[in-house]
Structure 1
C-alpha cells in the first residue's frame, strides 16, 4: 500500500499556494542554470548509499558515547561506564552491543554548533544559521537537504527506485507540523524525498502531554508504504495515472509546476513498481531478523532502511519521533527514559544494522550516520533531566569510506565544549558530499538565483576517512 503525501494549500508557516507556485517558478528557472559542482573524479566515491539516523530531540552525549566518570555526580549522572572494543575508550553501561562494535565505527565526540532548535534543519542541510522565527517549519525558501542536493547533481537519480526515502514519516508528523530540513527547499519539490507514513500504537491510551516522559511506553508498529487515499486496485490506480498524466501535461505548460509534475510522475512510478512494493515489505524478513532489530517503530524503520538500500535506494533517513515516546528531548526523567527505552532500542537496532550490512557485503559501500539535533547540558537539572546544549554532542559514522575504530575529538572534563577537533554540521555535510562523489566546494542557486555554497562553510573531516584525498 503506497501513499505519497503532498503539501496542503497553505503551508504550516502561513505561505499561500501562490507563494509556493512563485517559489516553484524560481526553482524551475534555476534548474536550467549551469551547475557549479561536479562529481569528484579518481577511483570513484566510496559510498554508493547513505543511511542517516536522526535522533530527534537531542540525545545526551554524556550518558551515551562521551561519559565523564570522574566528574561530580551532578555532571556524570546516574550511569556507570563499560569498556569498549577500543582500549581506553568507554561508553555508557547501557550500550553493550555498540561497545563491542566500537572498533568498527568512528565516534565523533565534538559535534558543536549554535543552532538550538528542535528540527533537523542543521542535521539535514549542514546550515546552522537558522532562527526558529523563520526556519522552524518547512518552506520553499529553506536550504535544501544534503540528499536533495546530491540528487540535483545526479547522485541517486535515474533508477527505478526512488533516490531519497524518509522514514517512518515526515519530521513533525506526530504534532501535525512539518519541520524544516529534509526537503528540496529552493531547488524545488522535484528533489523532495518520498516518505512513508506510520500510525504508532501503544498498549494503552496515551496523553501526549502527560505521558511525554513516560519511559514505560514504546511506539510499536512499522512504517507504512506510501499509499493512495482510500482503497483502490492497481488497475484503478493505473487508470488514475493516465488521467493525472493528461492533467499534468496541461499543467506543465504553466510556469512553476515542473517540480510538482516530476514529483507526481515519480510517485506513480513507485506505486506501480513491484520491486518497490517488495522492498517496503518488512514482513518478508525472517522473524529472527525482525527480533534482532526490534519490532518497535524504530527497529522496523532501521530494518526497512537496510532493505531499501539493498534494493537500490541511495539515501534513506530515519527520524525518531512519536507522541509520548521515541523522542530524545529529555528535560525530565532523563535516566529512566534512556535506560528503559531509548538506549536499548538504539543499541539493538544500530548494532543489528552494522552487522547486517557487513554480512551482506554492503557496509563498505554504505555510509551510516547516527546523530541528533544537539547534545544535553552537562549539569543534571532538578527534574532529573538535561536541557538543550548544542555546544557539544556526538555523531557515529560507519562504512562508506570511514575509518574503523576512530575516536575523533575530545571534550572538556564536563563534556561542555570541545577541547580539540570541533566538528560542525557543515563539516559533516562536506564529508558526506565528498564520500558520495559531489564536490564539497560546489554551489547551487537559491530562489533568487544566488549561488549558495552547499557545505555552508564546512570542510571535509579528512582525519576520519580511509582515503583522505
Structure 2
C-alpha cells in the first residue's frame, strides 16, 4: 500500500500553530493513511506498544552489555563482568538490577553502521536510513526526510485509532540544532510525536496544548472551538480536516491528561524508579521518572514512546574522557534502576509481553581506551537491548570479535532494527511510501530479526 504525502502537505505546521497546539502534536487520523501490512511470517503475536530508550551520545558496549574480560587491560577497562539470570550471559557489574532480569531480555551484540558522528549516527539509528550525503554533523536546521520509527507506526499501525499514537520525552535532543530524526519526515506533520516536556524543579511533566496557563485554560479551549466552528463555515461536523478535529478533541482527552499527572503515582512507586537526583542541567531531567511516565503512557493506550536519555556535557554517554567514572557514577545507576523498574512494573501489570522495549544509542565506543581515560565514537560495532514484546528471554544474537571492534557473527544493521520494530506491530517493512517528488521508498530496508522472538524460525 502506498502513502501519498500530498494530503499531508495540506496539514502544515503553520496551520496547527494557529490552533495553539505547537509543532509536535502527532495525531493518528483514524487510519487515513494506515496501510494494512502483512505480519512477519512465524513471528510472535503483534505487540501493542513499543518504548524506545535512546541513550544519546553513544554508550560503551564494552562497559555495558558486551564486556570483554579476556581482552587486554586497555580494552576491557576497569569494570568486571557479572553473571546474569540468563545462563552464560554476562554484563557489566554496574548493572546489577538488569542482571537479575536478563532472562526477560535479549542482547544484540553485532549492530553496526558507518556513521561516526552524533547527527548522522542518530539519524541512521532512529530512522533505519543513513544521512543523505557524507558523514557529518549538522550545524544548521535541516528538514527530516525518512520518518522516525514512532511516526511510521503512527501512520501504519493496524487496529483502532487513538488520540496519541506517538509521544516523546523529555525534550527534543540536539547537538547544535535539533537532530532531524525525531519526527515524521515525508509522512507529514500529523504523524509527528506529542512532545512532552519536563519541569525538574516541580518534578512534573507538561504538554503546552494541555497545560492551563494563567487560569485561562477553559477560555482558551472555548476560543479554539469557536475558531474551529468558524473554519467549518456552516459545514457539518466532521467535514473539516480531521487533523484539526483531532487536535480539538485531544484538548478534552482526560486519559492523556491523567497519564501525564505523574503525581498520581504513590511515592513508593516513584522512588522505585528513582529521580536522577544529584545530577544538574540535563542530568537532572527526571531520568528514572521518564521510565515511569512511559509506562503510564502505554497504559493510557499510546502505542509508541521515545525516551531520550541525555546528560549535560561531562555527564554524558558521549564519554570521550573518564569513561569509567562517567559510566559508574552518573550513567549506569539511573539506567539500571529506571529500566529495571519499568521491566518489572510492565511484567507485574501483564503488559510486558505486548510491549517491546528497545534500548540503543547512536553507536558504540572504541575498544581501546584513549589517553584521557575515555572511549571515542565507534559505529563499527555496538549492542542493543530488546526486552518484552515476545522476545526470547536470555538470548544473545550476533557477537563481536575478541576486542569488541567488529561483528564476528550475524551482523545487524539499523535497517534490520527498523524492520523488526515494524514487523512486531504487524506492519510490512516493505510498505511503500513516497516523498513530495513521488519517489517511492520501502518503509524499511532490512530484515526483521524473527529468530529472536518466541515463535520465530
Q: TM-score range by the shorter chain?
A: 0.7 to 0.9
The match for 2:251 is 271
How many residues of Structure 1 are paired with residues of Structure 2 in the alignment? 412
**Aligned-residue offset at 1:382:** 1.1
The match for 1:38 is 37
Q: Could you tell which deviates more after superposition, 419-428 or 84-93?
A: 84-93
CA distance in 2, matches of 1:36, 1:291: 41
**Aligned-residue offset at 1:241:** 1.4
CA distance in 1, matches of 2:251, 2:311: 26
**Aligned-residue offset at 1:467:** 2.1
The match for 1:123 is 125
The match for 1:26 is none
1:402-435: per-residue Cα shift (whole Å, max 9, x none)? 1111011111111000100111111011011111
The match for 1:288 is 268
Of 404, 407, 410 in structure 1, the residue corresponding to residue 399 of structure 2 is: 410
The match for 2:279 is none
CA distance in 2, matches of 1:128, 1:389: 16
The match for 1:223 is 205
Alignment of 1:69-218 (within 5 A): 69-119=69-119, 120-130=122-132, 131=134, 139-155=142-158, 158-159=161-162, 161-172=163-174, 177-200=177-200
**Aligned-residue offset at 1:151:** 2.0
- Maintained 8 Å contact 1:168/1:222: no
The match for 2:19 is none
**Aligned-residue offset at 1:235:** 1.7
The match for 2:26 is none
Give the TM-score, by structure 1 length.
0.81
**Aligned-residue offset at 1:176:** 7.0
Give the TM-score, by structure 2 length.
0.83
CA distance in 1, matches of 2:451, 2:398: 10
Distance 1:111 1:138, change over 3 A: farther
1:5-30: per-residue Cα shift (whole Å, max 9, x none)? x9689xxxxxxxxxxxxxxxxxxxxx
Distance 1:232 1:248, change over 3 A: farther
- Maintained 8 Å contact 1:50/1:366: yes
Distance 1:267 1:335, change over 3 A: farther
Structure 2 unaligned segments of length 5 or more: list them: 1-11, 16-30, 277-285
CA distance in 2, matches of 1:433, 1:155: 11
- Maintained 8 Å contact 2:35/2:156: no
Q: Secondary structure at the match of 1:316?
A: strand
1:370-395: per-residue Cα shift (whole Å, max 9, x none)? 11010000011111110000111111
CA distance in 1, matches of 2:207, 2:103: 35
**Aligned-residue offset at 1:44:** 8.5
Distance 1:248 1:124, change over 3 A: farther
CA distance in 1, matches of 2:152, 2:347: 28
- Maintained 8 Å contact 1:156/1:313: no
1:255-298: per-residue Cα shift (whole Å, max 9, x none)? xxx9xx66555444333222211111111111111111112311
CA distance in 2, matches of 1:82, 1:236: 58
CA distance in 1, matches of 2:159, 2:139: 27
Distance 1:41 1:67, change over 3 A: closer
User: RMSD in angstroms over aligned alpha carbons?
Assistant: 2.9
Structure 1 unaligned segments of length 5 or more: list them: 1-5, 10-30, 202-219, 253-257
- Maintained 8 Å contact 1:55/1:327: no
Q: Secondary structure at the match of 2:197?
A: coil
Are 1:311 and 2:314 matched, yes or no?
no
**Aligned-residue offset at 1:328:** 0.8
The match for 2:290 is 301
Distance 1:167 1:32, change over 3 A: closer
CA distance in 2, matches of 1:345, 1:101: 16
Distance 1:422 1:465, change over 3 A: same
- Maintained 8 Å contact 1:112/1:423: yes
The match for 1:15 is none
**Aligned-residue offset at 1:468:** 2.1
Distance 1:341 1:355, change over 3 A: same
Distance 1:129 1:353, change over 3 A: same
Distance 1:467 1:44, change over 3 A: closer
- Maintained 8 Å contact 1:36/1:443: no
**Aligned-residue offset at 1:67:** 0.6
The match for 2:27 is none
Q: Secondary structure at the match of 2:118?
A: coil
